[in-house]
Every structure is written in structure tokens, then in C-alpha cells.
Structure 1
């Protein structure tokens, strides 16, 4: 949890920081280019005004160029048709190519000013060019694109170091608060788990106490009254045996629930055909169904094959039927049906037309040891874990289960099982 939170906020900050850095880097480059262009543009204007003062003569430009701030600065005067009229580096300008399509000239023609970095066709050196369009000609200034010019155009790295420091500080702060949050979360989880364990321990102890007390009571009566009639002794033995069976069932249910919750990966999954499994459930509870005159209708619609655990799939249908037998009443009808399927799941319903359950109890039916009528539940021999096992078994098979009251009476369980 801590790592996930830290990574999430760190990534969020990094995206923000990189966006700001990219934006600032672009702005800084434009700013530095504008500064250099301003210097070169001032030179271009000075050259043009000097030409205008000398009534178009270019003979004086050599003496002017010597006064420029950069000793290696190149100045070129180009006609509006692209012919080179003057260049302080190349003395014989008549042999120079037409410059009408030079990138900086094209930009100057379109925008008034234009810049470009490229290698000169004439000298073979790499220059930073800046051209300005005037009324009678283009004036272009250029500087050799060396370390000096490159550094002039390079953004200031100070803000990079600032953002690097800020990233480190924010990461440290996020790590600190994430760690604190995780500690609080762990503490809260430990307290919650401790509360759940105490409650569960109390519930288990309470559930175990009833059958154990009954067994001890019956055995104590037999032990202290060896002369009891055989019929009475058999009664106490039968009662003790029934309570022992209930105790055994309770322990098995607790162990099964613990296995489902603590080590679901240890449950073996294999290809299972659900139809014979449901038939087995009906066969195992046939006598109890007959005793309560409960009619069961199945509608599974052909063979149903899925990947699952046969014991847990059995327990789903067995516990749902046991629930009907125990609480729905006598003379009711039960429906077990596959309602639909898609590419990943089968969908089922187990419903009855019995007494149903008050609405306030529905959301608790899958809770461990929850009973709508505690006295009645214990008389039926239930452990209070059946529906909790059903819910956990369905979820282990990547399905979901819900319950609601039917219109006209009874309960309806809808659940899905992954293929």
C-alpha cells in the first residue's frame, strides 16, 4: 500500500515537473535566441542606415564592420532579388550563389526577420544567421556557430538544478507522509483484525459451548446414575451423539471457512460437471425433503462444465438446500435453475416460496454465526456458517451472490460461477 501511494504521487509530481521543465526549457531557448537576434538585428539596422546615409554606396562597409562588437562577425548585403552585393568575408561576391532561397532570407521575406543555423556554401563554416528585410535590400549578420554562440543560445541550467532539488525534497516529503500513513493504516488494520478475532473467538467459544455443555450434561447424568433404565441411558447417548455430530460439523465448517479465507490458493481446481453434483445433493437430503414435504424442481439446461472444486461446489448447493429445509417451512417448493450464461460465467438461482426473511436481516445472512431466530436455529442444528461458506465458495469461483425476498413469499439466491 505504501509503495503504491508513493509511486502514484511521485509519478504525478514527475509528470508535472517534466511539463514545467519542458515549457521553461522552450521559453528559455526562445529568450536566448531573441537576445542574440536582437544584437544581430541592431547590427543589420546600423549597416542599412549607414548605406542609406552614403546614398547606397557600399565601399565604406569594411571600415564599419571592424567596429562591430564581435570580431568574427560576418555581414552580408543582399539585393531584393537575392544577389549578394557585399560580404566582409568573401571579397569577390560576384561568384557567390543567389541567396533568394536561403532559409533565413525566406523567413525575412515572409516575417521581416529570419534566422537559421547551417553550413555556408561559400566558406564551408557553420554559422548562426540572422537576416532583416529593408526597403531596398536584405542585411544579414552571422556568427560562427562555435562554443561561444552555442553557449549564448543554451538555456540557463539554474532552474534545472532548482527543479532537481525540488523533486528530491517532494519525494522525501511524499515518502515520509506515505510511511506515516502506512503506519497508521497498518495500526488501524491491526486493531480492526484484533477486534474481528476477538469477536470471532467469542462467537466460536459461544457456539462450541452449547453442544459441549449438552454432551457434558448427558455424560455426567449417565456417570452419576449407573442404574438408570436402559431406555433412558440410550436416550442420553443418542442426545450426546447428536450434539457431538453438531460439534463436529461446526469444527469442519470453521476449518473450511478458514481455508477459504486464509489459503484460497491451496484449493485444488479441476474440470467439474455440475449436474451429477446437484443430483448427489438432492439424493443426500432426500429423506429430509420428504419429511417436510418439500418439492424440488431443477432446470439446469444440459451439462454444465466449469473449472472448480467439487467439494466447494457441492457445499454451495447443499447449504442453500439445508437453509430451505431448516427455515422455509413445510410443504414449500424449491427451484434450482441456470438462468443464463455468457462467455465467462454461468448464472444460477435457488429460490423457495417459504416464509422469507425480514428485510433488515437480508444484508446479514452471509455473516458468520448470524441467525435471524437464534433459538429456532439451534433447534434445527445449524452452525450459523452455512451461508457464509456459500458466499466464500462462490467468490473463490470468481462469482458473486445476492439474496432478496421473492414477490409472494420466500427467498431467492442469485449467484454466478466462473467457467
Structure 2
């Protein structure tokens, strides 16, 4: 059976617990304070004894043997239950009035000695390892090279002295009883008022008119409490929803890559995320911690002018900045209540991407124009020729076919590069045996090697395995090999070797013994459509994307590649690939 407590009973019960906890806390605090003060009193007494012994030794001795005998004489005048020990700075016991000093072990590690070393004095209560008596120890360090340690047995007398008397406890308990009685009295009065309010609330809630003779009477506060709680719960639910939406908004701001700050009408900060202060300090010349100061900085004078312009027709404003090699966009949005938001966006990457795409589009159009124009010219020539001129027609058809092959390869290279950059998740990863892959490449290009009288050498162990895309790894070494065949000249060696392998990565060198390239071109050979020699590349039919595909395919595997000329002649590419798949690779594989 559940017992329902009245409002008064709950008040008495809860406040009794609070007063009881408060009373116990006061008693405990008072006990601790008294005990601490009395312990300090005993320590001061022991310190006085130690100082008396030290002064006596200082005035009557000047060497260790005399100190021991002097200490023995002095102890006779000290309290009978006082234990005195003389210890040098190395922890050796020189004298003890209770035990033979020669039989006692080194005391340097005793707690009170350790405290005395660090703080000149220290105390400790513990069982003596020498005579199995519990002591209150006090040790003090003196500049003459020794410690004086004095101790009293921690017996009933000292133990009772350290504990506070109970008179204060009785007073506090009496205070607790008085508080409870007073609380009962005021709870009765308060409860009567609430009961009267309950009747009033019920009449109002039921829509009943109050009778002229209506008077407040005693009743429970359940109904009125329920009404108040119901309204409170509705209010809290609305507040919770508002707080939840606010939290969502703040999380959006916090994780946004834009710098966002909200200001009141008088330009006081309401909120700002971390990116805003970071971008702000890039735009201005001097570091700024208080973001409200930005309105006095010359960099934002146009923003301030827009905010000050009350005749404006638009509530938005945008401005671009170039600073420290980066590009930023600053936007202002003014709300109806005159508060406003400031956005600072780092558009460097998007601008570079836009320019890169624009450049690539122009390059693609330029590259496509040549084969398409050639094919159109050949076809127009064929259409104007007589059917009996079969030889010339065959010649133009062959030329058109070569241009279609070139166009097809160009489209294939563009597709491969786009897939690596924008759809890299479509490449499946697996353990790839590099020896087998390179041997397969040699077989595929054997006819080209014979045509150029070149030699293909693979110096890679059968145990070299890379976790990655077989398609892209094959593409890396095929593009490098075809590049060497096309531009290295004839009668050359093309070598792929694994020159180092450890637990983390495998390192390859791909080189040829051909003509190499000029040093000024090395830093740009991985750029899209970059050609060392425009005329020579046109003759060989290259798209200008081969080495760019190589670079992006290596980066796809989280590797690295650099190019350099060999002192012996020819071009060399140094590559590294991680051997151990990263955690995200394992997750994708699973």
C-alpha cells in the first residue's frame, strides 16, 4: 500500500534531511578543526622540546661523540615519556634514549624525516619499527648537520586530547531540534494558505462563479499543485524544444567551415565560432581577441559603412579580400530587429578549383580541337575526291583513323583522371603482387620495346605486395613506361626496381637511360597538359595527361613521387607506397 504524503509532511521531511545534513557537516567540521588545532598544539610542544635539545647541543658540544653524550644528559631533564632521537643528514641514528643507536637501521626514509628534508620540519603518527610502539613523531632539521626527532607514545591520553569534547555536539543537536520545531510551525501556516489557494484554484478552473460568502478553507494542495505542474511542464517542454533547436543551430555553426558571428544592434557579440576568430586574425594586421574591435579596423570600413547606411535597400552585403595568399568572402546579413550576422569564408580552395576546372576545360577543348579538326579535314577531302582514287582515299582514311585513336586515348585519359579525383571510391582495393603486375606490363608492351630496341628490366622481389587498386598501379607504371619509350629515345634501358622495403612502406625507382629533360621542366611535368616540347609531343601523339594520372594515382594510394635527372643520363622517378593499409581502408574492405 502506497502512503501519499501531504505537502506539509513533504516539507517537514525534506527540510529535516537538509538540516540534519547541515548539522552533521557542522559537527564534523568542528571536530576536525579542534583536532587539527590540538594536534598543532602537541607539535608546537614537541618543536619546543626539539629546540631546547638543539640549543643545549649547540652550546655544549662541537663534535658527534660529545653531542651524543650531551643529548643523553639533556634527556634526563625532559619529560619521562618523551622519546628523543638524534639523526644525521644521511639518516644514520646517532642517539636514541629508548634503544641502542648502533642496532637501529637508517632512518632517512622515515616519513617525518622526509618531510623535514623538504619543509625543515615534519610529523607522523605510526608504529615504530624498532620497538613496536605507536608514536606521534616530530622531526626538525638543523643546519649543524643533524635532525632532532622527538616522539610521544600515541596512547589513550594523547588520543583523547586530540579529539574534541562533546559539548558543542550537544549544542548543535539542540539547535537541530529547535529548527525542526520551528519548521513544523511555519509549515503548518504555509500549508493552510496553500489549501485555501487550492479551493480557489478549483473554482476558477471549473469556471464556477465564486459565491459571495466564499472563504478560504483548509484542503490538500494536490489539485492546485497539479495545475501548476501542468503549466510548468508545458512551459518546460517549450523551453526544451527551443533549447534543442538552439543547440542544433549552434552545432551547425560550430562545425561549419565558415566563420560565423552574430552581433546585437549595438554591435556587441552574441555568438561566434572558432573559425570566425581564426579567419579574422588572418584578414587584420594585428592579432585581435575581442572580435567587437573589428568594426574599428580599416579592413572592415566598407562593412561598417554598410551597417551605418540606414537608407540602404538591401539587408545583405558581400566583399572579397585577398590576404596572405588566401581569398576570403565577407558577407553581412541584417535582421529585422537590427541584429546582424557576419560570415567569413575561405574561398581559396573553391577559387583554385574553379580556375583549375576552367583551365582544364580550355585545355581539353584545345586538345580535342586538333584531332577533331584533322578528322573533319580528312573527311571533307574524301567527300570531294573521285571514287577511283582509291590510294589517296586509303591514305586519308588511315590518317583519320590515327586521329580517332588519339581522340579516344585523350578521352580515356580524361575519364581516368576525373574518376581518380572525383570517384575514387569506385576503385577496388586488394593486395597486389608487384612482381606479377610488372611482368604482365612487360609482356603487354613487348612489341614497343622491340620496335625501339629497348630493354625492360624488373628488379622487384616476389614478396613485394601493395594494398591498393590493381588498375591504378598498372596505370602508374604503364604511363611511365610509355612515356620513356616515347621520349627517351632508342636503344635504352627501362628499369623498375624496389630499392628499399620496411614495415611501413615500399620504395620504387623507375628510370630510363634516355635523354632526360631539362631541369626547369622537372617541377611542372606532373601538371595536366604540360609538355616539355610541344612539337615533339604532337608527333608522338601524347595527351599530356599521362604523368598527371601517375601523380594522382600515387596520391590515391597515399604515396609520394618525385622526378629527377640521373647523373648517368635519363630520367628517374622515385616512389613510395604504404605497405600497411590505413584503418579506413580496412573498414572499406570489411
Does the CA contact (< 8 Å) of 2:460 and 2:497 recur in 1?
yes
1:216 counterpart (376, 381, 385): 376
Does the CA contact (< 8 Å) of 1:119 and 1:125 recur in 2?
no
> 2:354 — aligned with what?
194
Does the CA contact (< 8 Å) of 1:316 and 1:393 recur in 2?
yes
Q: C-alpha displacement at 1:346, in angstroms?
A: 1.4
> 2:469 — aligned with what?
309
Question: Per the alignment, do residues 100 and 300 of structure 1 end up closer, same or farther by CA in structure 2, a change over 3 Å counting?
Answer: closer
Alpha-carbon distance in 1 for matches of 2:569, 2:370: 32
1:102 counterpart (24, 38, 45): 38
Q: C-alpha displacement at 1:314, in angstroms?
A: 0.8
- Whether 2:207 is the aligned partner of 1:271: answer no
Question: Per the alignment, do residues 171 and 123 of structure 1 end up closer, same or farther by CA in structure 2, a change over 3 Å counting?
Answer: farther
Alpha-carbon distance in 2 for matches of 1:346, 1:171: 50
Alpha-carbon distance in 2 for matches of 1:347, 1:390: 15
Question: Per the alignment, do residues 99 and 170 of structure 1 end up closer, same or farther by CA in structure 2, a change over 3 Å counting?
Answer: same
Q: C-alpha displacement at 1:103, in angstroms?
A: 3.7
Return 5+ residue gaps in structure 2 as ranges: 1-33, 49-161, 172-267, 284-327, 330-343, 580-590
Alpha-carbon distance in 1 for matches of 2:407, 2:507: 34
3-state SS of the aligned residue for 2:497? strand
Greater shift in the superposed pair: 348-357 or 226-235: 226-235
3-state SS of the aligned residue for 2:567? coil
> 1:172 — aligned with what?
272
Alpha-carbon distance in 2 for matches of 1:121, 1:366: 89
Q: Once the two structures are superposed, what CA deviation does each residue of 1:143-170 show, in whole Å capped at 9, x if it has no partner?
A: xxxxxxxxxxxxxxxxxxxxxxxxx969
2:164 counterpart (120, 126, 136): 120
When the two structures are aligned, how many residues end up with a matched partner?
Answer: 276
- Whether 2:529 is the aligned partner of 1:369: answer yes
Question: Per the alignment, do residues 288 and 120 of structure 1 end up closer, same or farther by CA in structure 2, a change over 3 Å counting?
Answer: same
Q: Once the two structures are superposed, what CA deviation does each residue of 1:182-230 show, in whole Å capped at 9, x if it has no partner?
A: 7554433332222111111111111111111111111111112143621
Does the CA contact (< 8 Å) of 1:354 and 1:411 recur in 2?
yes
3-state SS of the aligned residue for 2:543? coil
What is the alpha-carbon root mean square deviation over aligned residues? 3.0
Alpha-carbon distance in 2 for matches of 1:173, 1:288: 60
Q: Once the two structures are superposed, what CA deviation does each residue of 1:261-281 show, in whole Å capped at 9, x if it has no partner?
A: 112222211122222221221
3-state SS of the aligned residue for 2:347? helix
Using the size of structure 2 for normalisation, the TM-score is 0.43
Q: C-alpha displacement at 1:413, in angstroms?
A: 0.6
1:261 counterpart (412, 415, 421): 421
> 1:233 — aligned with what?
393
Alpha-carbon distance in 2 for matches of 1:120, 1:228: 130
Alpha-carbon distance in 2 for matches of 1:305, 1:285: 22
- Whether 2:422 is the aligned partner of 1:322: answer no
Report 1:127-146 matches (<5 A). Answer: none
Return 5+ residue gaps in structure 1 as ranges: 1-97, 112-117, 128-167
Alpha-carbon distance in 1 for matches of 2:428, 2:419: 12
3-state SS of the aligned residue for 1:280? helix
Alpha-carbon distance in 1 for matches of 2:518, 2:388: 46
> 1:333 — aligned with what?
493
Structure with higher RCO (Cα < 8 A, 6+ apart): 1
> 2:575 — aligned with what?
415
Alpha-carbon distance in 2 for matches of 1:219, 1:406: 46
Q: C-alpha displacement at 1:321, in angstroms?
A: 0.5
- Whether 2:503 is the aligned partner of 1:403: answer no
3-state SS of the aligned residue for 1:102? helix
> 1:388 — aligned with what?
548
Does the CA contact (< 8 Å) of 2:449 and 2:455 recur in 1?
yes
Alpha-carbon distance in 1 for matches of 2:443, 2:451: 14
Does the CA contact (< 8 Å) of 1:260 and 1:396 recur in 2?
yes
